[in-house]
Amino acid sequence: MTLRICIALAAIALAASASHAQTRHPSRGRPITPALAEATFDSAWSVIDHTLWDTTVANTLWRQARADLRPRALRARTAEELRDVMEEMVGRLPYSHFEVIAGEVSDSLSAAPAGRGDAGMEVRLVGGRYLVTRVEPGGPAAAAGVRPGWVVDAVGTRTARRILELVGQVPAAKEARGRQLYAWIAMTGALKGPPGTRLRVRFLDGADRPVTRELALREPAGAMTEKFGNLPTLAITWDSRRVRAADGTTAGVIRFNYWMPVVMARLNAAVDSLRDTDGMIVDLRGNLGGLGLMASGFAGHFLDRVDTLGVMRTRTTTLYLVSNPRRVDTQARPVRPYAGPLAVLTDAMTGSTSEFFAGGLQQLGRVRVFGEPSAAAALPALAVKLPDGDVLLHAVADFTGKTGKRFEGIGVTPDLAAPPTRAALLAGHDPALDAALAWIAETRRSRASAR
């Protein structure tokens, strides 16, 4: 079983490095023996050396990384110092999905629901400012009167400006999409806390007036958690609903933030309940990935023949993400795979498995993609425990869609660009969703006239 692990793990790394940046002191940290440092470094290096699909990179850059950095690793006296060296080592690889995740961060995130309290809103970095792009009906932000299009200016004592300065220190955030991703990760983390606590947030309203609101954090609606192998516990959000356009067009909207097993039964049930709609919209904005096989599995609901979403090439094998057409519903009744128009919404936080799904079906001509270019971080990866307790996330294969196009470093390009704008949000619009709905309505009309 091959996993695509979400780049959300970068969030953990970022949170960890951010906290280290503020608190690290030469005399502090988890002590580590030279033997353990050596075993941990060698283990991490060897795992990647054995699995890196590009042997040219393995034989040159990767060997050099070991030669350069091993002496420093052996001098490390704390787990944090060693992690810095190993992060530098994996950072030399020109790919996503290589991270060293602090064991204590992973463990603490796995142990308690401390960070599950949610403000009931989503934010994105738009034009250098954090915009509220979505307010969950009935959620804490809605209760406090927060509106889409408002700007988040400060969370507690942390200003948005300071958060963005920290983000700027992350090497991967130098590039525009990386900056958007890490900025989102940082702010999303800042807007979370223990359920029941109150979070003071300063906004700029639609007229750019400072407005402070107290948000009572709570478990997000429909929230679930999942602990999958060495990954930290993930807080899963889920929403499926039916929307109706002014002309009577109906569409099913399915939105979730991770491809994890706990979501699969809901996905199947959602497709069943929305079969009668004129079109379906899978909203993968903010969905960083998860279990890769779920992408081809879910795609089977929309394909009427066995087909390939993509190809994974490891050093020794070539494996295909094959979709099985779903000809039976959740009640064991024969059905045909959904044949209506299918739209997928993407943004810079649409990563990994979400890119397999959106890009794979796009290459098959089965979906129309709306929104913004995706994260461009799409490689099959595994997460293994290291001798010192840290977790190494490492990609194990190259990945292309059926037509041979790679998503890593490129991403999925929308068929129709529909980025969020402040004006649209303040007017109550969601440009990507609106565009998808308009396309479904147009498809419905053209199919009707063809009959």
Name the residue nearer to other proteins (CB basis): 243 or 384.
Answer: 384
Written as six digits, the tokens of 284 are: 């993968």
Q: Checking phi first, is residue 90 left (phi over 0); if not, alpha (psi -120 to 50) or beta?
A: alpha
Burial class of residue 255, CB neighbours in 10 A (0-12, 13-18, 19+): buried
Written as six digits, the tokens of 344 are: 């997928």
Name the residue nearer to other proteins (CB basis): 115 or 380.
Answer: 380
For the bound state, the minimum distance from the C-beta of residue 298 to other proteins, rounded and expressed in Å, comes to: 8
Sequence-distant (≥ 6) Cβ neighbours of residue 383 within 8 angstroms: 3, 5, 9, 101, 229, 230, 231, 391, 392, 393, 394
For the bound state, the minimum distance from the C-beta of residue 226 to other proteins, rounded and expressed in Å, comes to: 7
Exposure string of 43-62, with b = 16+ CB inside 10 Å and e = fewer, is bbbebbbebbbbeebbeeeb
Name the residue nearer to other proteins (CB basis): 187 or 321.
Answer: 321
Written as six digits, the tokens of 108 are: 């603490």
The one-letter amino acid at 332: A
For the bound state, the minimum distance from the C-beta of residue 284 to other proteins, rounded and expressed in Å, comes to: 17
| Helix, strand, coil % over all residues of the chain, rounded to 5 | 35, 25, 40
Name the residue nearer to other proteins (CB basis): 234 or 358.
Answer: 234
For the bound state, the minimum distance from the C-beta of residue 285 to other proteins, rounded and expressed in Å, comes to: 23
Exposure string of 97-117, with b = 16+ CB inside 10 Å and e = fewer, is bbbbbbbebbeebeeeeebbb
How far, in Å, CA of 250 to CA of 243, rounded?
A: 6
Name the residue nearer to other proteins (CB basis): 207 or 332.
Answer: 332
For the bound state, the minimum distance from the C-beta of residue 391 to other proteins, rounded and expressed in Å, comes to: 8
Name the residue nearer to other proteins (CB basis): 25 or 333.
Answer: 333
Q: Which residues bind other proteins (CB under 8 A)?
A: 1-3, 50-51, 226-230, 260-262, 264-265, 268, 291, 293-294, 296-297, 300, 314, 316-322, 324, 326-328, 332-334, 382-385, 396
How far, in Å, CA of 348 to CA of 181, rounded?
A: 6
For the bound state, the minimum distance from the C-beta of residue 172 to other proteins, rounded and expressed in Å, comes to: 25
Q: How many C-beta atoms lie closer than 10 Å to residue 314's C-beta?
A: 16
For the bound state, the minimum distance from the C-beta of residue 107 to other proteins, rounded and expressed in Å, comes to: 11
Name the residue nearer to other proteins (CB basis): 128 or 229.
Answer: 229
Helix (H) or strand (E) holding 47: helix 34-51
For the bound state, the minimum distance from the C-beta of residue 155 to other proteins, rounded and expressed in Å, comes to: 33
| Of 165, 204, 167, residue with least CA distance to 185 | 167
Name the residue nearer to other proteins (CB basis): 224 or 417.
Answer: 224
How far, in Å, CA of 345 to CA of 356, rounded?
A: 13
Written as six digits, the tokens of 171 are: 């090497």
How far, in Å, CA of 184 to CA of 192, rounded?
A: 13
For the bound state, the minimum distance from the C-beta of residue 307 to other proteins, rounded and expressed in Å, comes to: 12
Name the residue nearer to other proteins (CB basis): 104 or 226.
Answer: 226
